[in-house]
Amino acid sequence: MQKAIIGKKVGMTQIFDESGKVIPVTVIEAGPCVVTQKKTEERDGYVSVQLGFEDVKESKLSKPEAGHLKKAEVALKKYLKEFKLEKADQMNVGDVVKADTFAAGDKVDVTGVSKGHGYQGVIKRWGAQRTPTSHGGGPVHRHAGSMGSTSSPSRIFKGKIGAGQMGVEQVTVQNLDVIKVDPELNMLVVRGAIPGPKGGVVYIKSTVKTSHVAKGEAGISTNPQKASARTNPQKASARNR
């Protein structure tokens, strides 16, 4: 079943499993979220719900934002996000979604805005190399260098690496394991790193990846016509072992 919630990144830490192996995890303050809008097939052409997260004063919202939430008769929320869920038609405006909507073992995709690194050159941004530092290289060792051809085509092709803003992009990390859920603290603990700085808003939803359950180790073929049939004594590969 598809599930979704809005949360805030708390930070990273590590925990230990039953066998004593360390697991790097990210702690997320997930919810509680309230359903602020419901879209239906008859009125909107598709089914979805809009979730709101984190209470906010009315003075911090624009008049359209405040009016939208007042019409739904819910508390004013700072962050809104629409999710297309399988059971969205069973949810109603005002319903509360908490962290326990997920369970340990679930696979999730986490979307957030990556950390900003400011305006960076081609070496830090793209991993470009420096120019030689001897024989009159001049003060251009970290510059981008030649950018394109001559009078034909008289332009730089799209996709050419260059200096510019680094980070502050929407990033989605897929197929992360939910290690622990604490409904009292509204806490989700997921394996690995997620985008954004501490305190950054993230959107958690069921993964779009398809998980295949392993059916055990592959056995050795008993077909004497196959090269993998090592148990056949008539084969040269079996006799020469």
Domain total of the chain: 1
- Tens digits of per-residue pLDDT, 121-143? 999 999 999 888 888 878 888 99
Rounded Cα distance between 102 and 119, Å, is: 38
- Reported confidence tier of residue 164, pLDDT bands at 50, 70, 90: very high
Give me 97's structure tokens: 């979604």
Boundaries of domain holding 19? 4-117+170-206
With contact defined as beta carbons under 8 Å apart, do 97 and 31 qualify?
Answer: yes
Asked whether residue 144 is domain-assigned, the answer is no
Could you tell me where the beta strands, DSSP code E, fall in the chain?
4-16, 22-30, 33-39, 48-55, 77-83, 96-97, 107-113, 116-120, 164-167, 170-182, 187-191, 201-206
Q: What percentage of the chain has pLDDT greater than the value 70?
A: 87
As a whole number, mean pLDDT of residues 11-32 equals: 91
The two most distant CA atoms of the chain are separated, in Å, by 85
Asked whether residue 225 is domain-assigned, the answer is no
pLDDT at residue 232 in the model: 54
pLDDT at residue 239 in the model: 53
Asked whether residue 125 is domain-assigned, the answer is no
- Tens digits of per-residue pLDDT, 57-113? 999 999 999 999 988 888 899 999 999 888 888 888 888 888 888 888 889 999 999
pLDDT at residue 216 in the model: 60
Using the predicted structure, report yes or no on whether residue 37 has a pLDDT greater than 60: yes
Q: What percentage of the chain has pLDDT greater than the value 90?
A: 43
pLDDT at residue 152 in the model: 83
Asked whether residue 165 is domain-assigned, the answer is no
pLDDT at residue 144 in the model: 87
* pLDDT higher at 1 or 69: 69
With contact defined as beta carbons under 8 Å apart, do 80 and 133 qualify?
Answer: no
- Tens digits of per-residue pLDDT, 178-232? 999 998 899 999 999 999 999 999 999 999 888 776 666 666 666 666 665 555 5
pLDDT at residue 215 in the model: 66
Q: Compute how many other C-beta atoms are within 10 angstroms of the C-beta atom of residue 206.
A: 18
Pick the closest to residue 204 from 115, 68, 47, 98 (CA basis). 98
Residue 140: how many CA atoms within 13 Å on its side-chain side?
8
CATH number for the domain including 194?
2.40.30.10
pLDDT at residue 116 in the model: 94
pLDDT at residue 210 in the model: 82
pLDDT at residue 105 in the model: 87
Which DSSP state fits 100?
Answer: G
